[in-house]
Structure 1
Amino acid sequence: MTRPTARTNPITTTTTTTTTPRCSDHWSARPRRFRRWAAPCRREAGIAAIEVVVTFPAIMLLGWLVLVGASYALAQQSVQSAAADAARTASLARTAPAAQTDAYTAASMTLANQDLRCTATDATVDTTALMAPPGQPAAVTATVTCRLDPARLGVPVGPPLTIQSSVSSPVDTWRSR
């Protein structure tokens, strides 16, 4: 199909009508191998704007999910580090009550240094290894639990997240008990 266009000649003041091919005729008139390099139809004007409007929110959501996942992984690493510090500190203590107190203090300080503000922090220590006789290998296990507000991770709503980590540290086999 063709559509008519009108042109006026200023010298003769006559109007001539010419026809230009429509998009479908224009594309079909070319050989198949040249169609992919030809200019797009006018009916496709504005398609790029629609594609941007549709894909932009999806890309932003994907970026937000990456940031939330990275924040959660960083929080897990911080709790793991706090558990390692708590276990090492508890393995150096001479008594079970001192080990529990030192482990909680070490875990709290590590979490504060990592800028991880837990709503509730708990550090428990298995101190049965401190009673082992000299020369016998033993290990102290510390478990650190952190309840974290989801808003700290970038999630606006949701229940508190609980992150827990356990680490064992060997007790010096030849130390005095």
Structure 2
Amino acid sequence: MNPLTRTIAVCGRRTRGDRGSAAIEAAVGVPAFALFVSLIILGGRTATAHQALESAAADAARTASISRTAASATESARAAAEASLENQGLRCTDVDVNVDTAAFSRSVGVDTTVGVTVTCKFTIADLGIPGVPGSRVLRATVTSPLDTWRERTP
């Protein structure tokens, strides 16, 4: 057997021992890559949802700040927040709008603000990430100033 034939024979035996290693690498690598991509998608969804929630809270606070009474401020803020979330396509399973209307009881001439906190529970179960719950609760709080010299009723 000449040296060239012996080298080919040895190399041939080595490659037969590596048979199936690509399948094993794929069996380990593909799920890890899929989990990594799912976590990136989860982060993107959470960031987008939080941005939509901040916008809804800002809309609600602005709407509440131009109301004349505390009761109408609460009603209009809730409607504005829900409409904003609907327009942005954020599907919350539970929406809570809490309006701080204490500023309406302060006298005219005093700088005050009205605060709105919007809480949203949205579903992420469709991602199917192990160890991640099926929903997340996000909360955003925004304040808006009341007109200092405008009449207000508690």
TM range (shorter): 0.7 to 0.9
Q: How many angstroms apart in 1 are the aligned matches of 2:62 and 2:128?
A: 33
Which of the pair is proportionally richer in helix? 2
- Give unpaired runs (5+ residues) of structure 1: 6-17, 24-40
1:176 maps to what in 2? 151
Residue 139, structure 1, aligned to residue 125, structure 2: no
Q: Report the counterpart of residue 166 of structure 1 in structure 2.
A: 141
Contact 1:107 1:144 (8 Å CA) reproduced: yes
User: Where is the strand percentage greater, Structure 1 or Structure 2?
Assistant: 1
Which amino acid in the other structure matches residue 85 of structure 1? D
Q: Residues of 1 paired with 2:140 and 2:114: CA distance?
A: 14
CA distance in 2, matches of 1:173, 1:99: 16
Could you say what secondary structure the match of 1:136 adopts? coil
Judged with a 3 Å threshold, the aligned counterparts in structure 2 of structure 1 residues 61 and 99 are, in CA distance, closer, same or farther, namely same
SS at match of 1:163: strand
Task: Write the letter of the residue equivalent to 2:92.
Answer: C
The CA deviation at 1:46 is 5.6
Structure of greater relative contact order (alpha carbons < 8 Å, 6+ residues apart): 2
CA distance in 2 between counterparts of 1:45 and 1:130 reads: 77
Counterpart of 2:78 (choices 104, 111, 121) is 104
CA RMSD, Structure 1 to Structure 2 (Å): 2.5
Q: Give ranges in structure 2 of 5+ residues lacking alignment.
A: none
What secondary structure sits across from 2:91 in the alignment? coil
Partners of 2:63 and 2:34 lie apart in 1 by: 43
Q: Following the alignment from structure 2 to structure 1, what is the Cα–Cα distance between the partners of residues 121 and 70?
A: 25
Q: Secondary structure at the match of 1:20?
A: helix
Larger radius of gyration: 1
The TM-score with structure 2 as length reference comes to 0.80
